[in-house]
Amino acid sequence: MIKSSQKKRNYLICEIKRHQVAYYADDCPKISDRDYDKLVRELFSLDSELDIPRSLTEKTLGVGYKKKDEFSSVKHTIPMLSLDNAFDFNELDQFFCKVEEFCRKTNMCSPPVYCAELKLDGVAVSLIYVDGKLTTAATRGDGINGENITENVMGMQGVPYILDFRRLQKNNVKFNNQSFLEIRGEVVFLKDDFKTFNKNQEKSSEKLFANPRNAAAGSLRQLDAAVTASRPLTFFAHGAGEIQGFTDNLFGNHSIFLEFLEKIGFKPLVPRVKNMQPQAIKDFISNVLTIRKDLAVEIDGIVVKVESFELQEKMGTTVRAPRFAIAYKLPSETVVTEILGIDVQVGRFGTLTPVARLKTVSIGGVKISNATLHNEEELEKKGVKIGDKVEVRRAGDVIPEIVRTLDDRTNERVIDKKLSFSMPDFCPSCGGKTRKPKGEAARRCGAGKKCPAQFEQSFIHFVGKKAMNIDGLGAKVIKQLIDEKLILSFADIYKLNRIQLENLERFGRKSAKKLLESINKSRTSTPAKLLYSLGIRHVGVQTAKSICESIESFEELFSISSEKLSTIKDIGPVVVDSVLSFFKNTQNLKLTQELIGEIVFEEEEIKKSGVFAGKSVIFTGALKVLKRIEAQDLVQKNGGTISSTVNKNTNLCVVGEKAGSKEAAARKLGVRVITEEDFLEMIEVRK
Ligand code: IVH
């Protein structure tokens, strides 16, 4: 068996090399991008069967698969902008009115016509073709500078390496020998590809992605181009950047341009409509809403554009978005299902969260069988009961939540049949009495780490991404380790050995080895990450960082004074009390000392690269998708710093809802002001 697999592997390497030469050197690909991609994927899956490290195969495959330390930067000669949004037909009508008014004032063609197409929920990418050959691919970045991802898009579905200009010649389209064509579009995971991909990830205990967009962003921006090549990504073109060397009247309007793109090898962006009046555009939107679930790709809106390039050019752009286009935003997709039961989960600090168990449904390629009901008050407000038909959506397109019940509460007989639910007086995990503190929305169990659920949750927090970041140590394995009494404290994680792990159910030699490797990797960490991992109440990522920036050594925390803690920036009395009482507890102190013995501290990494490299960013107003702290963390992870007051050194001001005086101050100083949505696009992450 192994012998034949090895034979197959050698054959695949030879084949891939042969096609690489044909593709990269001879400019004459012998197979389609998709088939080439299949060969690479087949090789990598054989590798994992044969336990061959990927690095070895990459070396064998050579240049095209070289791993980089970081992406180089690409400047967009024409900025990659954002789009203004319309949330209902009224707002869309306002857009139509503005365009018409512009036409009237400038004596342009009246009435103007529009086209509309899907707004793909993916990652914006620019592709540059010189003389019809792909030379550069870049992410949007901050709109002015993006990251060079040329190697990553090579071979991707929908990205032709050589443009097929032959058909254009036949159609009598003229272009110079030195043509320059920048195509802009979206890299996405098709819904079906996403389902299969996540299923395979689960089978091989690899990271699962929350939605197709996150999967696309995570897969595209891989320093190791071979990883991107192994993911089923697809590119759809939806516009142009810089164009040179084509006869001027080649693309009279947007729809003609999209047809041109199809002719030269790009995938069609369908369904779409062209040359339409406003009412027909609205009909198209209503239609797409009804078929949204059946589309092959996830969308978050419909983009409506002025057809005529001449009118587009005359209307121009603001610094943020073009005036000739608008995104009609669609709400998160909802589905109807049934509540089978309501469970109560106990959190890290004893908070009880009601969670609805649902008849399994799929939203945007993700199976949903649970949805949070948040807390006792929310549960009462929504008035849901077991057996209800409910509408479910993914909040911020990630966490499933119940929007509303569809059951009619006015009919007494229906209510009678329902199974009522109320939050328990005793903790479902430890049996201790629960109480709902005055002024708080949630009920909690006060047993602390003695409560098995809180104990387990503290480990889940400890291994999390922002904490010690132990890959492969998920909730299930933590439960196994606790049940087997292999981990009684955080330090015990670092004392686990191969035999102990191999003896666990569903564990083999390979998985034990892999887990030990990630545990070892996590030994090297920063004081701030360790402090955050301890799970001290009110000490989040940013607070832990602030504290660690003000101390000489981690040990200083063991006897730190209230005075010193109080002088630290952004640390209030609640945090001071929480930190002091944590380290006053002799058990906590002993366990933390034991843990430090297992950790090697490295200096906090100061990122010099990333979208916000060297930029000082300020947030004001309420963010809708991210928590403020998460957004700040993303800025720092991408090379930026956070400022709390606007001054001449501030580079960017992110405004949420009900932004206050900081926004006005930023505008006055000429600081670039962006919305949360722009921010999410810059960072290419959605929660
Ligand atoms: S036109 C000036 N068309 O949406 C930008 N954008 O919210 C003009 N997007 O980053 C873009 N589908 O990458 C356009 N059919 C479509 C689109 C689309 C997705 C993305 C685009 C941009 C973001 C703006």
Domain extent listing, the chain = 2-61, 85-329, 334-428, 449-601, 616-682
Any atom of ligand 1 within 6 Å of the Cβ of 303: yes
C-alpha of residue 235 to centroid of ligand 1, in Å = 13
Ligand 1 centroid to Cα of residue 188, in Å, is: 13
Sorting pLDDT into bands at 50, 70 and 90, what band is 56? low
* Ligand 1 closest atom vs CA 121: 19
pLDDT of residue 141: 83
Model-level pTM?
A: 0.65
- Rounded-to-integer distance, Cα 152 and Cα 134, Å: 12
**Is the separation of the CB atoms in 365 and 191 below 8 Å?**
yes
pLDDT exceeds cutoff 60 at 2:
no
Cis before 268 (ω within 30) = no
Q: Which of 511, 470, 434 is nearest to 599 (CA)?
A: 470
Omega before 428 within 30 of 0, i.e. cis: no
Q: Does domain 616-682 sit in CATH 3.40.50.720?
A: no
Q: Does ligand 1 come within 6 angstroms of the Cβ of 230?
A: no
Report helix angle 89-106 to 278-291, nearest 10: 150
Question: Any residues with CB less than 8 A from the CB of 471 and at least 6 apart, and which?
Answer: 207, 518, 521
* Orientation angle between helical segments 2-20 and 54-61, nearest 10 degrees: 40
pLDDT at site 522: 95
Split at pLDDT 50, 70, 90, the class of 174 is: low
Measure CA 193 to chain center: 17
The residue with greater pLDDT, 141 or 423, is: 423
Torsion angle of the four alpha carbons 472, 477, 481, 484, in this order, in degrees rounded to the nearest 10: -150
Pairwise CA distance, residues 628 & 643, whole Å: 13
* 3-state class (DSSP) for residue 275: strand
Cα 472–chain centre separation = 19
DSSP reduced 3-state for 529 = helix
Question: What is the C-alpha separation between 447 and 92, in angstroms, rounded?
Answer: 54
Amino acid at 606: I
Q: How far is the CA of 326 from the centre of ligand 1 (A)?
A: 9
> What average pLDDT score do residues 595-606 get?
81
Ligand 1 atom closest to Cα of 119? 12
Which H or E run contains 12? helix 2-20
- The two three-digit tokens of residue 498, written as one number: 């191969």
Architecture of domain 2-61: Orthogonal Bundle (1.10)
Q: Which residue has the tokens 């004001």?
A: 620
Residue 238 is predicted with a pLDDT of: 97
For ligand 1, whether the C-beta of 82 sits within 6 Å is yes
What's the 140 CA to ligand 1 centre distance in angstroms?
A: 11
Buried-state track 534-563, b at ≥16 Cβ within 10 A, e below 16: bbbeebebbbbbbbbeebeebeebeebeee
Q: What DSSP state is assigned to residue 418?
A: S
Predicted pLDDT at 686: 40
CA 95 to chain centre: 30
CA distance 231 to 225: 10
Residue whose structure tokens are 């932004």: 659
Q: What is the mean pLDDT of the chain?
A: 86
The confidence score (pLDDT) of residue 409 equals 63
Element (H, E) at 100: helix 89-106
Q: Which CATH class is domain 85-329?
A: alpha beta
- The confidence score (pLDDT) of residue 602 equals 82
User: 106-120, 232-246, 385-399, 480-494: which has the highest mean pLDDT?
Assistant: 480-494
Q: What is the mean pLDDT of residues 417-438?
A: 87
Ligand 1 lined by 186 (C-beta under 6 Å) = yes
Could you give the CA distance from residue 595 to residue 590 in angstroms, rounded to a whole number? 9
- State the pLDDT confidence band at 64, using cuts at 50, 70 and 90: very low
CA angle 279, 81, 147 (to 5 degrees): 140
- 672 CB contacts (<8 Å, ≥6 apart)? 319, 651, 652, 653
C-alpha distances in angstroms, 303 versus 43, 144, 284, 326, 612?
39, 22, 11, 6, 28
pLDDT at 439: 84
Q: Which one of 140, 242, 257, 303 would you pick to mutate in the ligand 1 pocket, going by the greatest count of ligand atoms within 8 A of its CB?
A: 303
Checking if the pLDDT of 674 tops 80, the result is yes
CB-CB contact of 221 with 147 (8 Å)? yes
Q: What is the CA radius of gyration of the chain?
A: 28
Question: Any catalytic annotation for residue 105?
Answer: no
Give yes or no for residue 3 having a pLDDT over 80.
no
**Distance of alpha carbon 250 from alpha carbon 171, whole angstroms:** 11
Q: Distance (Å, rounded) from C-alpha 422 to C-alpha 598?
A: 44
pLDDT band, very low/low/confident/very high, at 270 (cuts 50, 70, 90): very high
Strands 641-642 and 616-620: parallel
Which CATH number fits the domain 334-428, given the four candidates 3.40.50.720, 2.40.50.140, 2.120.10.30, 3.30.565.10?
A: 2.40.50.140
DSSP structural state of residue 293: G
> Which CATH architecture fits 449-601?
Orthogonal Bundle (1.10)
683 Cα to the center of ligand 1, angstroms: 15
* Residue 294 CB neighbours (<10 A): 7
Banded pLDDT at 478 (limits 50, 70, 90): very high
Q: In this structure, which residue's CA is closest to atom 3 in ligand 1?
A: 238
Residues facing residue 425 across a β-bridge? none
Segment 637-661 mean pLDDT:
85
- What is the pLDDT at residue 7? 72
Dist. CA 506–CA 486, nearest whole Å:
16
Task: Quick: pLDDT tens for 314-336.
Answer: 999 987 889 999 999 988 888 89
For 100-121, write each residue's pLDDT tens digit.
999 999 888 678 999 999 999 9
Round to whole Å and give the CA distance between 253 and 382. 49
User: CA angle, corner 465, sides to 464 and 466, nearest 5?
Assistant: 95
Of 70, 181, 183, 191, whose CA–CA distance to 122 is shortest? 191
| Cis, bond preceding 111 (omega within 30 deg of 0) | yes
Predicted local confidence at residue 605, as pLDDT: 56
Do the first three CATH levels of 334-428 and 449-601 match, i.e. the same topology? no
Catalytic residue among 119, 191, 529, 615: 119
299-306/123-130 β-pairing: unpaired
